[in-house]
Structure 1
Amino acid sequence: MNRLVAFLLILFSTFVTTSGLAFLLYKNELGRLRDAVGRGSLIANLDIGPIEYADSGAGFPLLSIHGAGGGFDQGLALAADLVGGGFRVIAPSRFGYLRTPIPPDSSLAAQGDAHAALLSELNIPKAVVIGVSAGARSAVELTLRHPDKVAVLILIVPALYSPTRPVEIEVNRGNKFAFWAVNAGGDFAWWAAENIAPSILIRFVGVRPALVAAAPEAERGRVMSFVRSVEPLSLRFPGINIDSAPELRELPLEQITAPTIIISARDDLFNTLPAAKFAAAKIHGAKLIVYDTGGHLLVGQAQQVRKAIRVFLASAGVIP
């Protein structure tokens, strides 16, 4: 009996010590992440309200509009990964993300107007506009409502309206946990899943874990970097809430005159391909590129995506 008690005490002590170390690691990491997103951005005080943004690099202006779970930091990373250098990148945090509050009107049209107002505030008459995932919605609104502001429109895995099959996320046990973490604004739950069961979060962001496991090390690192970019979840939760309940409707896409390129993947777990095809059919002259594999993060396709976008920008006269 004494040996059993001693064993249980050792087991309990080990559990407490391990839990304490894990929580300490989490607190340190959360503090570092909060510090990181607290630097590197500016605030533009617009009529619509304050908008957080980053302004980085030099060259032709590029407005990088992040998807759900993002912010200015994700916008900068997406521009670097999918477009490459040689641009002045303007990366706003959309409504409810990081230091951009939610205004009384948080509609997609208002988001498009906010993008236009930010460009005007920065004395940028025209920019290349890239909208990724949920960010494609306000990119399209900007292009429709302020066509003079958009030199080229780039839509990546666009979470747009489709009359046939809507953009959606599959329901399974792992995604239910991830949904719970997001709905609770749970920083610790996201951090723990990232360290203990990353495949849950990989699937939650629209990619099959097996695809990531088979990818080169650099691509696996890019995927995990994206997963980490959602932290601190609590600072992005209000924006995720807005993106989770969009009022998607058919827009007059045929009125878009800016050169447009749209990219998606057949195995995107968010099912963006029908919306991509629909938009490409509606926008006159739009170029549609579809990869067989890659998922929502276009795993293994980043180099090809960057090349295709730069060739398209060159054909539009934006880059030599």
Structure 2
Amino acid sequence: MADVLFVLILLGIAVVGAAVAVRYRRDMRAGRERIERSGSRVVRTDYGSIAYARAGEGYPVLVVHGNAGGFDQGLLLADWTIGPGFQVIAPSRFGYPGSPMPPDPSVAMQADAYASLLDALAIEQAAVVGYSAGSASAIQFAVRHPERLSALVLVEPVAPGKGPVMPKPIFTVFFKSDFIYWATITFFQPIIGGPWAGVPPGKRLTPKDKADVRMLLSSLLPVSARVDGSAFDIYVSTPGLLNATESDYPFGRIGTPALVVSAVDDPLALHENARALVEKIPNARLQAVPGGGHMLLGHHEEVRQGIMEFLRSTVASPPQPR
């Protein structure tokens, strides 16, 4: 009897293991196909290859994705927060899908790479929308290439002040293995997914909120294609901006109209930092969102409306080709 029970247990483990393996391969295949379907292209610049995707028509808006992203995340975030009537140009930053990490990378170099991308696309001037960790290079672009910038939008930006930094063991365990990351968000998403996505503690999620969190976390697959860029964000770019001095980021030199969008309950990019950032940029204003955490859950429509009104009021005439 004991031998039969043991065999049944082994059989059950084998069946479960096979089912997990099938689901993992399916989800990984779906992630790779999603990236391939996004219609990305690659341009060669002095800073290496840059992958980008375009969507929509109208005034060009350079969309700068956040941590663990890529051009595909840029398209997703733009879909949530930028309405029709604009041409979205979503590059992968250094170390993200299609854009290899160059030797001795820096945030300033990334900003210069954006200018090279606009050159390759024959775009003289564009608006820039930077999300989360992407705010660092968006701000540097505004400082280093003011003539190429017509408007600056920072959504849930990293900004000087207090802020959480991911411990290296967590990054090493969860974000360097496709399988471990996939298993975590697949089987433990209610426990882990909320904090990783910047959901405020105790927030009750609607079915739509849960679907958005699941979509964002799943969009990171395969994480192995994003690990170099994510490590740079976590250990170089974000701490550099959190602890920035005026010489590092001369905010006072930004003359372009700017909009800073921040949820009051964001646990990752603190609202108090966003308020202080608005005071540092001469021509900036704040759109304070009453809730929704880092993902602005439940507030995408009002954020989209605010960004559209800001862009339409600041970029009325289309740019001339170079």
Matches within 5 A, 1:146-295: 146-162=145-161, 165=162, 167-169=163-165, 180-182=173-175, 185-199=176-190, 200-208=192-200, 210-211=202-203, 213-215=204-206, 217-246=207-236, 247-248=240-241, 249-250=244-245, 251-295=249-293
Contact residue 49 and residue 103 of structure 1 kept, 8 A: yes
Q: Which residue of 2 aligns with 1:75?
A: 74
What is the number of residues matched between the two proteins?
308
Deviations 1:153-199 (A, max 9, x none): 0001101223xx2x21577xxx97566211xx111111111221112
CA change 1:317–1:34 in 2 (3 A) is: closer
Contact residue 263 and residue 296 of structure 2 kept, 8 A: yes
1:104 alignment partner, SS class: coil
Q: Which residue of 2 aligns with 1:58?
A: 57
Task: State the Cα distance separating 1:257 from its structure 2 match.
Answer: 1.0
> Does 202-211 or 149-158 show the bigger shift?
202-211
CA change 1:231–1:287 in 2 (3 A) is: same
Q: Distance in 2 between matches of 1:46 and 1:11?
A: 57
2:252 alignment partner, SS class: helix
Matching residue's letter, 1:243:
D
Matches within 5 A, 1:3-152: 4-39=2-37, 40-152=39-151
TM-score after normalising by structure 2: 0.90
Contact residue 190 and residue 233 of structure 1 kept, 8 A: yes
Q: Give unpaired runs (5+ residues) of structure 2.
A: none
What is the percent sequence identity of the aligned residues?
34
Deviations 1:119-178 (A, max 9, x none): 11101111110000000110000011001111110001101223xx2x21577xxx9756
Contact residue 169 and residue 206 of structure 1 kept, 8 A: no
Q: Distance in 2 between matches of 1:177 and 1:23?
A: 24
Alignment RMSD: 2.0
Contact residue 169 and residue 269 of structure 1 kept, 8 A: no
Greater relative CO, 1 or 2 (CA 8 Å, sep 6+): 2
Contact residue 193 and residue 213 of structure 2 kept, 8 A: no
Task: State the Cα distance separating 1:208 from its structure 2 match.
Answer: 3.1
Q: Give unpaired runs (5+ residues) of structure 1.
A: none
2:99 alignment partner, SS class: coil
Q: Distance in 2 between matches of 1:87 and 1:6?
A: 66
Q: Distance in 1 between matches of 2:136 and 2:317?
A: 25
2:102 alignment partner, SS class: coil
Q: Distance in 2 between matches of 1:224 and 1:141?
A: 31
1:134 alignment partner, SS class: helix
Contact residue 83 and residue 305 of structure 2 kept, 8 A: no
Contact residue 185 and residue 193 of structure 2 kept, 8 A: yes
Contact residue 61 and residue 87 of structure 1 kept, 8 A: yes
2:160 alignment partner, SS class: coil
Deviations 1:254-283 (A, max 9, x none): 111111000112221214323312210011
Q: Distance in 1 between matches of 2:300 and 2:146?
A: 28
CA change 1:319–1:270 in 2 (3 A) is: farther
Matching residue's letter, 1:46:
T
Task: State the Cα distance separating 1:19 from its structure 2 match.
Answer: 1.0
Matching residue's letter, 2:152:
L
Q: Distance in 1 between matches of 2:179 and 2:61?
A: 34
Matching residue's letter, 1:29:
D
Contact residue 157 and residue 269 of structure 2 kept, 8 A: no
Contact residue 178 and residue 201 of structure 1 kept, 8 A: no
Matching residue's letter, 1:85:
P
Contact residue 65 and residue 75 of structure 1 kept, 8 A: yes
CA change 1:60–1:295 in 2 (3 A) is: same
